[in-house]
């Protein structure tokens, strides 16, 4: 076992298999609650020049680690290491788009945790949908859906902070599918946030029965739904396309990030 409680990373890791998204989700939870032994390529634990090792798999970067002192000995690693709580580690790695690779020395090569899943560990596994996500345009509009989009667009027009609205149908690996509304806003101030909450409350009663709705900020460079919306959708509401719209300096669609 690792340094965590029963059900920690090592116990769950033995059960991970392709297609077992429930077990993989349990592994992410264990990482959040446990600690990991990070392999240092340079420096000593806690020193300013300490630097994690790195490896690349299928074009994505990962920091290699092991799951216990026993696995550290088995790995043959002869440089320094650092023991770090999993949630703190996830928060430090994902902004640089670095994932974690558990026990790369193990038979089969270990298990990789992409940076998008580290983002979920850092932000809360219950708050962010489980990947891989299936993303698409919402299905052909029913009359009820059309009324919801029309009402939301009307309220957006009366909410000056809103530049545009996008939409996507999201199917997580685990959990119910839902409608995501992408909020393209002029700024992120508290006043803007409150005005947009009011806008959503005013339209939410028109949501078709049985359709969960969530929102994402189009300014979030790390959200996979936002990445998809930027690359694949056009807004169903666009303030600049309205009659009599006044051009806003610097306005444009968010750039499509490179990966």
| Residues 214-230, mean pLDDT to the nearest whole number | 97
Q: What residue has token string 């996979």?
A: 224
Residue 243: per-residue pLDDT: 65
Asked if residues 254 and 218 have their Cβ atoms less than 8 Å apart, the reply is yes
| Token pair recorded at residue 21 | 């998204």
b/e code 115-148 from CB counts within 10 Å (16+ = b) = bbbbbbbbbebeebbbbebebeebeeeeeebeeb
Examine the pLDDT at 113 and tell me if it is beyond 90.
yes
Q: What's the CA gap between 11 and 190, in Å, rounded? A: 43
Give the range among 70-79, 104-113, 207-216, 234-243 with minimum mean pLDDT: 234-243
Examine the pLDDT at 256 and tell me if it is beyond 70.
no
Give the percent of the chain with pLDDT over 90.
83
Q: Can you give the pTM of this predicted structure?
A: 0.85
Q: Which fold, 9-123?
A: Trna Endonuclease; Chain: A, domain 1 (3.40.1350)
Write the DSSP string, 27-85: HHHHHHHSEEEEEEEES-TT-TT-EE--EEETTEEEEEEESSHHHHHHHT--S-EEEEE
Residue 241: per-residue pLDDT: 83
Name the segment(s) of the chain with CATH classification 3.30.300.
134-241
Query: Is residue 247 exposed (0-12), middle (13-18) or buried (19+ Cβ within 10 Å)?
Result: exposed
Using DSSP's 3-state secondary structure scheme, residue 216 falls into strand
Structure confidence at residue 140 as a pLDDT band (50, 70, 90) = low
Give the range among 3-7, 135-139, 234-238 with minimum mean pLDDT: 3-7
Name the segment(s) of the chain with CATH classification 3.40.1350.90.
9-123
Single out the residue of 103, 104, 129, 126 nearest to residue 116, CA to CA.
129
Residue 143: per-residue pLDDT: 74
CATH code given to domain 134-241: 3.30.300
Write the DSSP string, 238-257: EGGGSTTPPPPTT--PPPPP
Examine the pLDDT at 5 and tell me if it is beyond 70.
no
Q: What's the CA gap between 91 and 226, in Å, rounded? A: 19
Q: What residue has token string 């919306």?
A: 229
For all residues of the chain together, what is the average pLDDT?
Answer: 90
Residue 257: per-residue pLDDT: 34
């Amino acid at each position: 076992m690792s340094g965590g409680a029963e059900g920690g990373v090592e116990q769950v890791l033995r059960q991970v298999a392709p297609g077992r998204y429930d077990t993989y989700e349990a592994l992410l939870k264990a990482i959040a609650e446990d600690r990991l032994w990070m392999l240092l390529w340079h420096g000593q634990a806690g020193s300013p020049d300490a630097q994690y090792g790195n490896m690349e798999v299928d074009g994505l970067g990962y920091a290699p680690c092991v799951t216990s002192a026993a696995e550290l000995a088995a790995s043959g690693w002869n440089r320094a290491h650092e023991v770090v709580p999993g949630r703190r580690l996830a928060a430090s790695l994902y902004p640089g788009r670095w994932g974690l690779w558990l026990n790369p020395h193990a038979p089969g090569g270990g298990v990789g945790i992409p940076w998008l899943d580290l983002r979920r560990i850092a932000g809360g596994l219950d708050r962010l949908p489980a990947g891989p996500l299936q993303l698409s345009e919402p299905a052909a509009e029913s009359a009820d859906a059309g009324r919801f989009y029309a009402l939301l667009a009307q309220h957006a027009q009366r909410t000056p902070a809103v530049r545009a609205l996008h939409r996507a149908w999201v199917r997580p690996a685990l959990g119910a599918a839902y409608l995501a509304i992408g909020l393209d806003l002029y700024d992120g101030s508290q006043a803007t946030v409150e005005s947009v909450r009011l806008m959503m409350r005013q339209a939410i009663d028109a949501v078709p029965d049985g359709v969960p709705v969530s929102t994402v900020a189009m300014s979030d460079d790390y959200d996979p739904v936002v990445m998809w919306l930027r690359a694949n959708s056009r807004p169903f509401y666009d303030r600049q396309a309205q009659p009599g719209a006044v051009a806003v300096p610097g306005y444009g669609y968010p750039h499509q990030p490179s990966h």
